[in-house]
Structure 1
């Protein structure tokens, strides 16, 4: 007696559905990887009911295109700015922040002079810029 063998059917897998699944997996992992920040340190900060943040008094240092220097609107120069900032710092108990506003046409050397003086006085510095277009 002859035993008949069954015909083996070939399984067909549609490539289109696999590529859709692969695309969605890749999209999912790309979205998750951009949300995760590996260098972030997660801490829980304590709460305080009586404490409050005290903002530092901003002192503006302005250098215009003609190299005129101003401290809080008062004219000064690069030689007396150290004493001006030091007296402002003492006036507000060393709780000031210098906001540097400089014309874009001045040299970097002028900016570095102010940054150097502010760093020597150990005063926090913020550089004011215009928002990009």
Structure 2
């Protein structure tokens, strides 16, 4: 009498460790994406002893060393700066503008921007880095 064995070989791929890896990758990318800076224009900011932080996204005016102006990420000509600045502040209904000047920018350029803010009663904040 022949005895048959009921054990058959079944090929399979265990996927429980794969779901753990995918969870950790998802968590990693979520954390990194929240830490990403929305301002892609890199400007070396002036140093300050104490910097205040804000969680609100205000309109950002970046001025590079070669005197190029950017409203958020969009480049604006100096002649068109005043008009675009007023349009954006009215569109957002927020009169606060964060100025990100390069650390080697002339003081006169910064004063001209501040005068522009005073003329139109805008609130300007100068961004710095902790030094």
- Secondary structure at 1:79's aligned position in 2? coil
Pair 1:83–1:57, CA change in 2 (3 A): farther
Q: Is the 8 Å Cα contact of residues 56 and 96 (structure 1) preserved in structure 2?
A: no
Aligned residue for 2:78? 78
Does the Cα contact within 8 Å between 2:59 and 2:71 map onto a contact in 1? Answer: yes
| Distance in structure 2 (CA, Å) of the matches to 1:116 and 1:96 | 15
Alpha-carbon RMSD across the aligned residues, in angstroms, is 1.7
Name the TM-score, length of structure 2 as normaliser: 0.54
Query: Is the CA contact (8 Å cut-off) linking 2:62 and 2:69 kept in structure 1?
Result: yes
Deviation by residue 1:53-96 (Cα, 9 ceiling, x = unmatched): xx975011111111111111110122211101110122123x23
Q: How many residues align?
A: 77
> Structure 2 stretches of 5 or more lacking a match?
1-54
Q: Which runs of 4+ in 1 moved over 3 A?
A: none
Bigger radius of gyration among the two: 1
What does residue 118 of structure 2 align with? 119
Q: Which has the higher contact order (CA 8 A, sep 6+)?
A: 2
